[in-house]
Amino acid sequence: MANYYQILNVKRNATSREIKDAFKKLALEFHPDKNPNNNSAEEKFKKINEAYQVLNDADKRTQYNQKIDLQNPQFQSNTVNESQYKSYSEIKHEPDFNSGDYSKQGKFYQESFQETKKESNTFYYIIALTLLVIIGSLATLFGKYMNNMAAEEHLNKAKVYFESENYFNAYKETNDALHFNDEMPEIYELRGDIRTIQKKYKLALYEYNQAKKYQKKSNEIIENKIIAIKENAKNENNSIDF
CATH number of 4-102: 1.10.287.110
Tens digits of per-residue pLDDT, 115-128?
777 777 888 889 99
* Residue 104 CB neighbours (<10 A): 9
Give pLDDT, residue 239.
54
127-235 homologous superfamily: Tetratricopeptide repeat domain (1.25.40.10)
Which is more confident, 78 or 131? Answer: 131
Percent of the chain with pLDDT over 90: 51
Between 74-83, 115-124, 149-158, 226-235, the lowest mean confidence (pLDDT) is in: 74-83
**Going by C-beta distance under 8 Å and a sequence separation of 6 or more, which residues neighbour residue 31?**
45, 95, 102, 103, 106
Which is more confident, 12 or 81? Answer: 12
| CATH 1.10.287.110 domain locations along the chain | 4-102
Q: What angle do helix axes 58-71 and 39-55 make, rounded to 10 degrees?
A: 100
| CATH 1.25.40.10 domain locations along the chain | 127-235
Give pLDDT, residue 108.
64
Give pLDDT, residue 164.
93
Residue 80 reports pLDDT greater than 50: no
Using pLDDT thresholds of 50, 70 and 90, give the confidence band for residue 73: low
When pLDDT is averaged across residues 55-61 and rounded to a whole number, the result is 93
> What sign has the CA pseudo-torsion 31, 35, 36, 38?
negative
pTM above threshold 0.75:
no
When pLDDT is averaged across residues 170-189 and rounded to a whole number, the result is 93
Cα–Cα nearest to 2, from 71, 57, 62, 56 = 71
Helix (H, G, I), strand (E, B) or coil at 242: coil
Give pLDDT, residue 89.
43
Q: For residue 48, with 0-12 CB atoms within 10 Å meaning exposed, 13-18 middle and 19 or more buried, which class applies?
A: buried
In 164-214, alpha helices (H) = 167-180, 185-197, 201-214
Which is more confident, 220 or 217? Answer: 220
